Amino acid sequence: MKKMILLVAGSLMALTGCNEKMGGKVSLNSDKAKYSYAVGMQIGRNMKSQNIELDQSAFSGGISDMLAGKDAKMSDAQVQEALKKMADMRNEKRKKAADDNKSKGEEFLKANKAKEGIKMTESGLQYKVLTEGNGAKPALNDTVKVHYKGTLTDGKEFDSSYKRNKPAEFPVRAVIPGWTEALQLMSVGSKYQLFIPSKLAYGERGNPSIPGNSVLLFDVELLEIKAKDKK
């Protein structure tokens, strides 16, 4: 709740100098206009990533009133109540989506494990060997270099080192449990498809780009074992 209040309060302060008509025609013909638009972009991107739905007219009105030094149309108590209601609505929406994802994920994994080439570990991790390498296998304390692509079961891509054209490097123990387990099964040079249950990923909470209780699909290519994690 406190985080939500700070986010909205910060947004109001940061929009100083922005165009009065939110989403209207904007002219970026000065440094002030450019940095104002840049701040607005960051705030808008942040709110979108957190699925914060706003009445843009009312939002713009709140900013305009505060910047102009006008009396607020809501008391502090009303502001607190409104922000709490927004947080409650978002939590309820997130919980419903997570509940729906849980049943869909269970159905997906049940059907998937019957497909040709799919293997499953005791933890529930499912994987398919696309290419079997002949190099060493990483241990829990190793650091690895990988290329990967991650999608949801509906095919929506949420991350890809291929698109960044830069492999990722990280300790085996520092990623989600499904990855930690899968990497120790792979030899350098291998490419696997992973089907990771939500309990081995981000669970009920999810993250900004991954809804709660989501089954995650990854194409993972183990390129190299870089070094031992000395921690």
Q: What is the pLDDT of residue 230?
A: 54
Report whether pLDDT(147) > 90. yes
159, 162, 170, 219: the catalytic one is: 159
Read off φ and ψ for residue 110, nearest 5 degrees.
Answer: -65, -45
158, 162, 219, 229: the catalytic one is: 158
CATH assignment, 104-228: 3.10.50.40
Instruction: Report how far residue 158's alpha carbon sits from residue 107's, in angstroms, rounded to the nearest whole number.
Output: 21
Q: What is the pLDDT of residue 101?
A: 86
Structural contact between residues 188 and 105, judged by C-beta atoms closer than 8 angstroms: no
**Residue-range domain boundaries for the chain:** 2-73, 104-228
Active-site annotation holds for 71 = no
Report whether pLDDT(20) > 50. no
Instruction: Report how far residue 38's alpha carbon sits from residue 18's, in angstroms, rounded to the nearest whole number.
Output: 9
108, 148, 192, 195: the catalytic one is: 148
Instruction: Report how far residue 47's alpha carbon sits from residue 149's, in angstroms, rounded to the nearest whole number.
Output: 25
Cβ count near 69 (within 10 Å): 6
Instruction: Report how far residue 104's alpha carbon sits from residue 110's, in angstroms, rounded to the nearest whole number.
Output: 10
Active-site annotation holds for 158 = yes
- What is the pairing mode between strands 191-196 and 168-171? unpaired
Active-site annotation holds for 37 = no
Arithmetic mean of pLDDT, 166-193: 97
Question: Which residues are within 8 A (CB) of 30 and not within 5 positions of it... i.e. 6 or more apart?
Answer: none
pLDDT in tens, 61-111: 888 888 889 999 999 999 999 989 988 888 788 788 788 889 999 999 999
Q: H-helix or E-strand containing 126?
A: strand 126-131
| Least confident residue range of 71-85, 118-132, 171-185 | 71-85
Active-site annotation holds for 43 = no
Question: Which of 134, 228, 150, 223 shows the shortest CA–CA distance to 183?
Answer: 223
Instruction: Give this prediction's pTM.
Output: 0.68
63, 196, 202, 210: the catalytic one is: 202
Active-site annotation holds for 218 = yes
